[in-house]
């Protein structure tokens, strides 16, 4: 089992930045690809970004590419999502998640999920 706890959500204005953090515990953190998903009100959960176990390979949804950056610290068992130039359409609950797969972009490929942290971007 891997336990994931997100933090850092909040209310910001369009154009602002926000950093989300996820702390992992349980099984060895470095063995997992770590991802972020989000779910906006009335919409399905969608992929945001992932980072591989060594941190040298990342992938982003087109909607956040160039604005969001995912990173990880295997020594501290944490993964972060730096979000810049936030837009109202980024409003959602953001979930940290862990996968044993190589390039997971579908939610079904992830085994462990945090409870989520809410991000609200006002216009």
Predicted pLDDT at 121: 98
User: What is the band of 57 on the pLDDT scale with cuts at 50, 70, 90?
Assistant: very high
CB distance 20 to 94 below 8 Å:
yes
Q: What does the pLDDT look like over 63-110, one tens digit per residue?
A: 999 999 999 999 999 999 999 999 999 999 999 999 999 999 999 999
Q: What does the pLDDT look like over 26-39, one tens digit per residue?
A: 888 888 999 999 99
User: What is the band of 1 on the pLDDT scale with cuts at 50, 70, 90?
Assistant: confident
Predicted pLDDT at 28: 80
Q: Stretch 40-63: mean pLDDT, rounded?
A: 96
Predicted pLDDT at 74: 94
Predicted pLDDT at 31: 87
> SS3 sequence, the chain?
CEEEEEECCEEEECCCCEEEEEEEEECCHHHCEEEEEEECCCCCCEEEEEECCCCCCEEECCCCCCCEEEEEECCCCEEEEEECCCCHHHCEEEEEEEECCCCCCCHHHCCEECCCEEEEEEC
């Amino acid at each position: 089992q891997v336990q994931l706890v997100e933090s850092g959500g909040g209310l910001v204005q369009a154009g602002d930045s926000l950093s989300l953090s996820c702390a992992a515990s349980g099984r060895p953190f470095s063995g997992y690809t770590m991802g972020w998903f989000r779910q906006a009100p009335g919409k399905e959960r969608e992929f945001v970004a992932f980072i591989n176990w060594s941190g040298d390979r990342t992938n982003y949804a087109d909607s956040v590419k160039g604005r969001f950056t995912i990173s990880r610290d295997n020594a501290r068992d944490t993964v972060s999502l730096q979000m810049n130039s936030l837009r109202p359409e980024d409003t959602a609950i953001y979930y940290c998640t862990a996968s044993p797969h190589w390039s997971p972009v579908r939610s079904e490929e992830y085994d462990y999920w945090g409870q989520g942290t809410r991000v609200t971007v006002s216009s």
